[in-house]
Structure 1
Amino acid sequence: IMITGDHRETAIAIAHRIGLPFGPGGVVTGQELEVMDDQELEDKVPSFSVCARVYPEHKMRIVRALKKRGYVVAMTGDGVNDAPAVKEADIGIAMGIAGTEVTKEAASFVLADDNFATIIAAVEEGRVIYNNIRKFIRFLLTCNTGEVFTMFFAILLGFPLPLRAIQILWVNLVTDGLPALALSLEPGGAGIMEQRPRSRDESIMARGMGADIFSTGLFIGVLTVAIFAFSLAGGRALAYGQTMALATLISIQLLFALDCRQNEDGKTPGIWVNPWLAGALVISFGLLFLVLYLPVLRGVFGTVALSPRDWGIVLAVSLLPLLARTAMRKLRRLKDL
C-alpha cells in the first residue's frame, strides 16, 4: 500500500508509473478515511492500494487495521509525520539518508542506502538465517536424542555401557560441533523468496520437526545398540564393541548432517555449495580416525583399531537413516501428487 500526503491524482500517477496495481476501491483519500469507523476501515483495508492526502493519524489507523486483520505490517517512512505509524508497525523501516532522526529512532531498522531493494535482500537474509537455525537445532537435537536412546536401550536390555564417558564427550564437543556450525552457514535456496511467509505464532519446532527429531533419534539409538550387541555376540572384547558403537554413532551423525541441508522447498543443494560443511565432515572423520588409529589416543579413549570389514559394516549401517529419510520424502511427494 502506498500512503502519501500528495493529492489523489498525483498519487494515482505515481502508482501507474511504479506499476502498483489497484482495483475498484483501491484508491482512498484522507477525507474518506475520516468518515470510516474502525470496523469499516478494518473490513475495507485489504482492498487499499493507494491512500492519498492522509495525515499521521490516518497512517496509524491503517497500520492498526491491517494488524487487526492478522497481517504482519512493515511501514517505511522518512518524515516526522511517519514516525508514529513506523513505531506502531510490526517492522518499522526508516530512510537512512533522507530520514529524520525522529523516524530513525522509531524504526526497527534503517535503510542506510535508502534503496527499497535492500528490504527484499533483508527479508531473504532473514529467511536464510531462520532456516539455518532450524537445521542447526534439528541436527544437534537429533544427534543428542540418538545418544540418549543408545544409553537408555543398553541399560534397559542389561548390556554393558556401549560408550564410555570420555567417548560421549568427544562426540558432543568435537565431532558434533563442527558440522552444526557449518550448517549455520548454509546459503539460501533459489526459491526461498517464493515461499509463503510463516505465521508469527509458528514455533521453531513447527512443521513436524519435533516428531522428526524424536523418530530419527530413536532410529539412531536402535542402530547403535544393535551394532554394539552384534559386535559382542562373537565373544569379542568390550573395547571392540564400544569402538564399533562409537564409529557407528559418529558416522551416522556426520552423514545425517547431509540430510539436514534440505531446504524448505524440499531440494538439497550439492555439498560444494557449502564448502564449510564439506571441510567439517572431513575434519570430523579425521578426528575419529585419530581416536581409532593413534596409539596414544587409543589408550586414552579405550578404543581399538577397526579392520576394513568392520568399516564396511559401520558404513552400511550408517547409511540406513539417510536412505530411509530419502525414501520417505519421495513417498510423501508421490502422495501429494
Structure 2
Amino acid sequence: SLGIRPVMITGDHPLTAMHIARSLGIADDREAMTGRELTDMGVADLEPVVGDVSVYARVAPKDKLHIVRALQNQGHIVAMTGDGVNDAPALKQSHIGVAMGKIGTDVSKEAAQMVLLDDNFATIVNAVEEGRIVYDNIRKFVKYTMTSNAGEVAVMLLGPLFGMPLPLLPLQILWINLVTDGLPGLALAVEPAERGTMNRPPHPPREHIFDRRMAVDIVWIGLLMGVVSLAMGYFQWQTDAESTRQWRTLVFTVLTLSQMGNALAIRTSTDSLFRVGLLSNKAMLGSVLLTFSLQMMVVYLPPLQDVFHTAPLSLWELGVCLLLSTVVFWAVELQKLWLRRYHKPHETQRNR
C-alpha cells in the first residue's frame, strides 16, 4: 500500500537469502536470481525481468550497479542502501543512496544522499512518512496563500465592475496579508499526517506542487471568496452610498474571516475537518482565534478605526458577516465530500 517494493541484494547463499526474504515478506515462491545469472546478462537483458525479481543472491558489487541501472531504465525510482566501499558506485547511481551511519564506511557515506544514523532499515519508512507530510503541508500552504490572494484580487476587480469604489484600502489589504497569510500559514506547516498518508501510491516523479487541480481550486475558491465578501458590502452601498466606511468594513471583515474558514477547510485534502477535529492542530485553532480577535480590535477600537478607516458593526451586521464567512468553508468541505465518494487514487504509480 505504501507503493514501495523492497528488493534484497546479498552475497549470501540463495537458500539463506530466500529464507530470510520469505520471513520478512519480501519474496514469494519464486527463486532468487544469482550473481552467476547476472554475470551472463547485460543491463538490457536484465531490464525485462528486473521488475519481477525481489531477491538477488551471491551478488558481486558490480552486479548491484547493473541492477540499479536496469530498474532506473524501467522507470523506477530507486533507493539503495549500503555500508561498504564496494557499495559506493550503486549508492551514487541510485536516485537516493542510503548509507549506514554507524557501520558504514566514509566512502559509502560520501556517495550517499542520506545517512541512517541508527542503522535501522525501518527508519527509512519513518523518513518516507515525514517526507510525505512535509510535501502535503507545502501544497496546503501554497494552496491557502494563493486562494487567499485570489480572493483579494477578485474583490478588487469585481467591486469596480459593479460600479463600486475601491472595496478595500491599501492598508486594509496589507493587514489581511499580514494577519491571515502569516499566522494560519505557519500553522499549516505543523499540520499532522492525514489519515491514509502511508496507504497511497507515491506521487508521479514529474508532478509539480502547483498542478492543474490546484489551479482550478485557486480560481473557484478565490472567485467565491470575492463574491461572498462583496455581497453584503454591495447591499450596504446600494442602500447608503455615503456610508463608505461602513460597507468597506463589511467587505474587509467578511474577506478576513472567509480566509480563516478557508484555512480550516484546507487542513485536510479529502477528510472532513469534523473527522480530524479542531484540536488535532492546536496551532491552527489558536491562529484562527487570534486573527478573529485582532480583526475585532480593528473594527471596534477607536484608535484602530482611525488607522484602518473602519466603522463599528452592529450585532446583526457582525452575525451576517460570520454567516457569510462560512460559505467558503462549507464549499470546500462539500468538494472534499465529493472527492471521498467519487475520486479514486491513481494506481499506476504503485511500486515505482
Band the TM-score falls in, shorter-chain normalisation: over 0.9
Structure 2 residue 57 is matched with structure 1 residue 52: yes
Q: 1:275 aligns with which of 267, 276, 282?
A: 282
Aligned residues of 2:91 and 2:112 also touching (Cα < 8 A): yes
Give 1:8 deviation, angstroms: 2.1
Q: 2:214 aligns with which of 204, 209, 213?
A: 209
Q: Which residue of 1 aligns with 2:332?
A: 325
Query: 1:250 corresponds to which letter in structure 2?
Result: T
The TM-score, its normalising length taken from structure 2, stands at 0.91
Query: 1:53 corresponds to which letter in structure 2?
Result: R
Taking the TM superposition and a 5 Å limit, the aligned residue runs for 1:295-310 are 295-310=302-317
Aligned residues of 2:43 and 2:69 also touching (Cα < 8 A): no
Q: 1:23 aligns with which of 23, 29, 36?
A: 29
Q: Secondary structure at the match of 1:256?
A: helix
Structure 2 residue 71 is matched with structure 1 residue 66: yes
Change (3 A) 1:336 1:167: closer
Counterparts of 1:241 and 1:325, CA distance in 2: 26
Change (3 A) 1:335 1:129: closer
Structure 2 residue 321 is matched with structure 1 residue 314: yes
Change (3 A) 1:139 1:11: same
- Which ranges of structure 1 fall in alignment gaps of 5 or more residues? none
Structure 2 residue 313 is matched with structure 1 residue 291: no
Q: Secondary structure at the match of 1:274?
A: helix
Counterparts of 2:343 and 2:91, CA distance in 1: 42
Q: Which residue of 2 aligns with 1:82?
A: 87
Identity of aligned pairs, percent? 44
The TM-score, its normalising length taken from structure 1, stands at 0.95
Structure 2 residue 263 is matched with structure 1 residue 257: yes
Give 1:301 deviation, angstroms: 0.5
Counterparts of 1:120 and 1:83, CA distance in 2: 22
Q: Secondary structure at the match of 1:159?
A: coil
Query: 1:326 corresponds to which letter in structure 2?
Result: E
Q: Secondary structure at the match of 1:208?
A: helix
Q: Deviations over 1:43-69 (max 9, x none)?
A: 000111111121222111111111111
Counterparts of 1:115 and 1:13, CA distance in 2: 20
Counterparts of 1:29 and 1:68, CA distance in 2: 21
Q: Deviations over 1:257-305 (max 9, x none)?
A: 1110114x53541110111001101111111011111111110000011
Q: Which residue of 1 aligns with 2:153?
A: 148
Query: 1:6 corresponds to which letter in structure 2?
Result: D
Q: Aligned-pair RMSD on alpha carbons? A: 1.6
Counterparts of 1:15 and 1:336, CA distance in 2: 36
Structure 2 residue 252 is matched with structure 1 residue 246: yes
Moved more, 85-94 or 50-59: 50-59
Counterparts of 2:71 and 2:342, CA distance in 1: 37
Structure 2 residue 234 is matched with structure 1 residue 220: no
Query: 1:175 corresponds to which letter in structure 2?
Result: T
Structure 2 residue 140 is matched with structure 1 residue 135: yes
Q: Which residue of 1 aligns with 2:347?
A: none
Q: Secondary structure at the match of 1:154?
A: helix
Q: Which residue of 2 aligns with 1:38?
A: 43
Aligned residues of 1:175 and 1:287 also touching (Cα < 8 A): no
Aligned residues of 2:266 and 2:332 also touching (Cα < 8 A): no
Aligned residues of 1:33 and 1:58 also touching (Cα < 8 A): yes
Give 1:15 deviation, angstroms: 2.1
- Which ranges of structure 2 fall in alignment gaps of 5 or more residues? 1-6, 345-352
Structure 2 residue 114 is matched with structure 1 residue 109: yes
| Larger RCO (CA under 8 A, 6+ residues apart) | 2
Aligned residues of 1:22 and 1:48 also touching (Cα < 8 A): no
Counterparts of 2:71 and 2:29, CA distance in 1: 18
Give 1:332 deviation, angstroms: 4.5
Q: Deviations over 1:23-46 (max 9, x none)?
A: 33x411111011113222000001
Q: Secondary structure at the match of 2:325?
A: helix
Q: Secondary structure at the match of 2:323?
A: helix
Q: Which residue of 2 aligns with 1:98?
A: 103
Q: Secondary structure at the match of 2:198?
A: helix
Give 1:98 deviation, angstroms: 0.6
Q: Which residue of 2 aligns with 1:8?
A: 14
Counterparts of 2:272 and 2:27, CA distance in 1: 33
Counterparts of 2:203 and 2:340, CA distance in 1: 21
Counterparts of 2:74 and 2:237, CA distance in 1: 63
Counterparts of 1:87 and 1:132, CA distance in 2: 29
